[in-house]
Amino acid sequence: MEQLLNRICVAKFDELPENLGRRVHVGEGNLEIAIFKLANGNIKAIENRCPHKGGVLSEGIVSGELVFCPMHDWKISTCDGKAQGPDIGCVKTYKVEVEDNDVYLLIEK
Amino acid sequence: MKKQKIVLIGNGMAGIRAVEEILKLAPNRFKITVFGSEPYPNYNRIQLSKVLQGDTEVADITLNTWEWYEENGILLYPGETVIEIDTDNQIVSTDKKRQVKYDKLIMATGSDPFMLPLPGIDKEGVTAFRNIKDCELMISASENYKKAVVIGGGLLGLEAARGLLNLGMQVDVVHLSDCLMERQLDKTAGKMLQKELENQGMNFLLEKQSAEITGLDRVEGLKFKDGEEVKADLVVMAVGIKPNVTLANESGIQVNRGIIVNDYLETTVPNVFAVGECAEHREMVYGLVAPLYQQGLEMAKRICGIDSEGYQGSVLSTQLKVSGVDVFSAGEINEDEDTKSVRVFDDWLGVYKKVLVKEGKITGAVLFGDTQDGTRLLSLINKKAAIEEYMDNARSEETGLDLIASMPDEEIICGCNGVTKCSIVEAINTQGLTTFEQVKGCTNASRSCGGCRSLVTDLLAYTVGDAFEQNQKESICGCTTLSKDEVIEEIKDKGLSHTREVMHVLGWKSEEGCSKCRPALNYYLGMLNPLEYKDEKESRYVNERLRANIQKDGTYGVVPRMYGGVTNSTDLRKIADVADKYDVKLIKVTGGQRIDLLGVKKEDLPSIWAELDMPSGAAYSKGLRTVKTCVGADFCRFGTSDSIGLGTKMEKKFEGMNAPHKVKMSVSACPRNCAEGGIKDVGVIGLDGEYEIYVGGNAGTHMRQADLLAKVKTEEEVIEMTAAFLQYYRETANYLDRTSVWVERLGIEHIQTYLSDEKMFKELNQRMDESLSIVQDGWKEVLESETMVRDLYQNVNIPAGSN
């Protein structure tokens, strides 16, 4: 089934610092997304809540495609959202598109 | 051949463990059906107290996932209770009218909490502490009510009480005896435990017999036999458990206190086994996990037709799972006419150890405060070792390895996470692990309390043999095999200048390192080359990067600097105004004599700092935190020196200094030491005409009394000595080692000798001054940089319904 997606510009590509996360609040609710510009220049977006205890992943140390949760050091993949062993858990991932210098986040309507 | 049918009644830890053993010994031989009354897969009941204490969540304590049952072809009926066993035709019937035939039946019905038959027991707000449901009831009660009473000062009661404290309730613990955990602890340890828990905020009502639970629909109070009454919005009954034997009894299986079993866990009825808390073996009923796992293994061998000598009973051991309290006991705990004991009692550090000896053999142990020896002692008790072996063990590493070698495979090494010797050995062998950190990462052993670290290290040494030595130089992290000293040498030799360069040139296994090595490298590079190195924000932990302390909800704490702990009415007014304006959730005076504004949103941090217009208190830093001072000679009638003056000078000098870990200092003006120099990284005591400098003290996880470093005559000398000491620490300590650990590693005599060399002393001071010369105020630096404000503090907000 085709999902309806909102495409929202959230940042300028060249203004996003490498290997640092940025928090994106969506709407009035509690949804928060963490956006990362990795060292290889790829932009990744995941739910900003560690599956362990809800730590803010956007403030974690980024290494390659992994982010280390600042609360208890869980390792989460920014690509598929999965916690790395031996921990088990998963966060949602979001699609990101970069056009010219604009970074767009695709979220469900 | 047709598969034999095994039916397991009880989907708990003992039963499922036994099934796991059967699957290991004879995969595919049996068709297994499991009935469990609770609507969950098998979970770690022991960890319930951690759920209640908020350290973990229900989802985290699941031991076997739904998928596990499926993958192993096990038919699980959760939320379904077996109500009848027809032992003649070998059929069980359930409350959902299901009938299943069995070839072997395993009863693992566990136990029920024992509820005192008090009037009012059926009121709302009265609960046991046994399962997930009880846990949830207590958590939801804590949201609406204030006052809890726990009946029972045993293991379970105290864990429940600690959990309720964490949930913000006031807690009374009622206990019949005059001593807590009297079945596991002797009087001395019981009293030490009581004192510690009182410090944590528990209130004890000892030698009290409960008589009646009062209230209308919901509980309102608890009345005692002596007529006294206390208020209660929640009553938790934790007075003990009784084996659940009803079904067995009704089915004609012989029961006493539990279901009677022989050494092979067979009941009096053919093809019916019992295991776990419901079973009674040689007149003993066990309620702890290790014996239940041993039983499960022996039973599995019998069912699979493997010869063994059977279950021989277990020595009981206990470890209390309350954070901040280390208690362990095993075997016998109280002396009688035939026993002698070896005791260590250190009132200052709060450590008590007692080992009981009967006819030269170790028969029991009680440990309080330091339980590192626990697992080893249990093992020695189990093999009835001579006391000399323990005493020698304390000194010789080799016997530690012998001990590891003699441990049975099923022995639990990590009690917190239930990791056995064989599973660690298997992980080491199959995944080629060579360091403690790797073992911890792959097996979860030592990941919770860390008490088994030395055992895990011994086991690693024993398993990998010669390969072990070369790996024990303690590499920085799993990304490299190099030690800190080697990395520092290479950085100096090759003139490396950023973390990525270090990782690349020195052959790191992961391209960008990890959360351990990156902050460490960032520190080492900055320490080696303070004037040139550009600090990497992305290699700093969150608190240091954002210059504020992250809280569990993602808000931050703000601590302005108050030199020497002295403030004034202008600053206090500013703090109050800022707190109001930014809706600060909590204003707290810290242990280091500062004011902490808690619950601040990240995006508000820069404006708060700007409005405070005070220097950063660096409460987030790995570096100088605070210099705590006593009132001193100006006001105090005992004070012999100007502690505030000296403390302020020291704080101004070392403010902004980076270090391997946080550094706390203090200055007191007389030996009463009101600023608590005995537990500081540097503690100065001003005497009449002389200063004493103490170092390496710590009040935290690694409690340590400070050592006297030097006695000097003037304030200037105090500052120089402190600078030399701290610079030596900065240059030679492992990142994240506090001075306490570092002083212990180097030895205080070595440090004294090193600093007594005039040339070294001078050079250390010069290098310290050089590194301090580039220090900027943490907050000002941010406020002066638009990029930092944008990159680090700004969030993106997407309004609802935007496109």
Q: CA neighbours within 13 Å on the CB side: how many for B296?
A: 26
Main-chain dihedrals φ then ψ at residue B8, nearest 5 degrees = -110, 125
Is A25 in contact with B792 (Cβ distance < 8 A)?
no
- In this complex, the residue of B541, B795, B803 whose CB is nearest that of residue A24 is B795
Is B515 in contact with A73 (Cβ distance < 8 A)?
yes
B56 near B416, Cβ under 8 Å? Answer: no
- What one-character DSSP code corresponds to residue B560? B
Distance from CA of B66 to the nearest CA of A (A): 14
The span from the first CA to the last CA of chain A, in angstroms, equals 14
Low-confidence ranges of chain B (pLDDT < 70): 1, 321, 323-324, 392-403, 415-417, 447-451, 466-473, 701, 800-803
- What one-character DSSP code corresponds to residue B791? I
- Closest to B31 in 3D by CA, of B61, B5, B62: B5
pLDDT value of position B337: 83
- Closest to B787 in 3D by CA, of B530, B534, B532, B606: B606
* 3-state secondary structure at position B134: helix
Question: Helices B758-773 and B748-756 meet at what angle, rounded to 10?
Answer: 90
Cis check: omega of the bond before A51, within 30 degrees of 0 = no
Indicate which of A61, A78, A84 best probes the interface with B, i.e. most B CBs within 10 Å of its own CB: A61
| Neighbour-count burial of A61, counting CB atoms closer than 10 A to its CB (0-12 exposed, 13-18 middle, 19+ buried) | buried
Distance from CA of B187 to the nearest CA of A (A): 37
At A5, the pLDDT band (50, 70, 90 cuts) reads confident
CATH architecture, range B624-776: 2-Layer Sandwich (3.30)
Structure tokens at B275: 């295991």
**How many C-beta atoms lie closer than 10 Å to residue B59's C-beta?**
12
* A3 has a chain B CB within 8 A of its CB: no
Q: Measured between alpha carbons, how far is B114 from B210 in angstroms, rounded to an integer?
A: 14
Is A61 in contact with B554 (Cβ distance < 8 A)?
no
pLDDT value of position B7: 96
Residue at B529: amino acid letter: N
Distance from CA of B439 to the nearest CA of A (A): 11
All residues of chain B having their beta carbon less than 8 Å from the beta carbon of residue A55 are 554
pLDDT value of position B403: 67
- Closest to A101 in 3D by CA, of A7, A20, A14: A14
* A74 has a chain B CB within 8 A of its CB: no
pLDDT value of position B703: 84
B668 near B630, Cβ under 8 Å? Answer: yes
* A56 has a chain B CB within 8 A of its CB: yes
Q: Which helix (H) or strand (E) is B17 found in, with range?
A: helix B13-25
| Whole-model pTM over 0.90 | no
CATH topology of domain B4-111+243-303: FAD/NAD(P)-binding domain (3.50.50)
What is chain B's length?
A: 803
Distance from CA of B442 to the nearest CA of A (A): 6
* Cα→Cα distances B449→B55, B319, B347, B593, B701, Å: 12, 11, 23, 30, 11
All residues of chain A having their beta carbon less than 8 Å from the beta carbon of residue B795 are 22-25
R_g (Cα) of chain B, nearest Å:
30
- Closest to B558 in 3D by CA, of B519, B613, B515: B613
Distance from CA of B139 to the nearest CA of A (A): 17
C-alpha of B712 from chain center: 40
One-character DSSP codes across B475-522: BSSTT-S-BHHHHHHHHHHHT--SHHHHHHHTT-SSTT--TTHHHHHH
Main-chain dihedrals φ then ψ at residue B554, nearest 5 degrees = 85, 0
A23 near A58, Cβ under 8 Å? Answer: yes
pLDDT in tens, A33-60: 999 999 999 999 999 999 888 899 999 9
Distance from CA of B795 to the nearest CA of A (A): 5
- In this complex, the residue of A63, A86, A105 whose CB is nearest that of residue B518 is A63
Q: Measured between alpha carbons, how far is B375 from B11 in angstroms, rounded to an integer?
A: 28
Chain B: residue whose CA lies nearest to A68: B515
Q: According to CATH, where is 3.30.413.10 located in chain B?
A: 624-776
* A7 has a chain B CB within 8 A of its CB: yes
Q: Measured between alpha carbons, how far is B311 from B297 in angstroms, rounded to an integer?
A: 9
Indicate which of A63, A77, A90, A96 best probes the interface with B, i.e. most B CBs within 10 Å of its own CB: A63
All residues of chain B having their beta carbon less than 8 Å from the beta carbon of residue A23 are 602, 795-796
All residues of chain B having their beta carbon less than 8 Å from the beta carbon of residue A10 are 796, 798
B514 is in an annotated binding site: no
All residues of chain A having their beta carbon less than 8 Å from the beta carbon of residue B427 are none
Pairing of β B147-151 and β B327-331: unpaired
**How many C-beta atoms lie closer than 10 Å to residue B715's C-beta?**
18
Is A63 in contact with B514 (Cβ distance < 8 A)?
yes
CATH number corresponding to B126-239: 3.50.50.60
pLDDT value of position B396: 43
Structural domains in chain A, sorted by start: 5-108 (2.102.10.10)
Q: According to CATH, where is 3.50.50.60 located in chain B?
A: 4-111+243-303, 126-239
Is A59 in contact with B550 (Cβ distance < 8 A)?
yes
Is A18 in contact with B797 (Cβ distance < 8 A)?
no
Q: Evaluate the CA torsion angle B292, B296, B298, B299 in order and state its sign.
A: positive
Distance from CA of A46 to the nearest CA of B (A): 14
Chain A: residue whose CA lies nearest to B546: A59
Q: Measured between alpha carbons, how far is B329 from B317 in angstroms, rounded to an integer?
A: 5
Q: Measured between alpha carbons, how far is B188 from B333 in angstroms, rounded to an integer?
A: 11
Is B512 in contact with A8 (Cβ distance < 8 A)?
no
B438 near B427, Cβ under 8 Å? Answer: no
Chain B: residues touching A (Cβ < 8 Å): 57, 60, 441-444, 510-515, 518-519, 537-539, 541-542, 545-546, 550, 552, 554, 602, 790-792, 794-803
Structure tokens at B84: 């009848």
One-character DSSP codes across B169-210: -EEEEEESSSSTTTTTS-HHHHHHHHHHHHHTT-EEEES--E
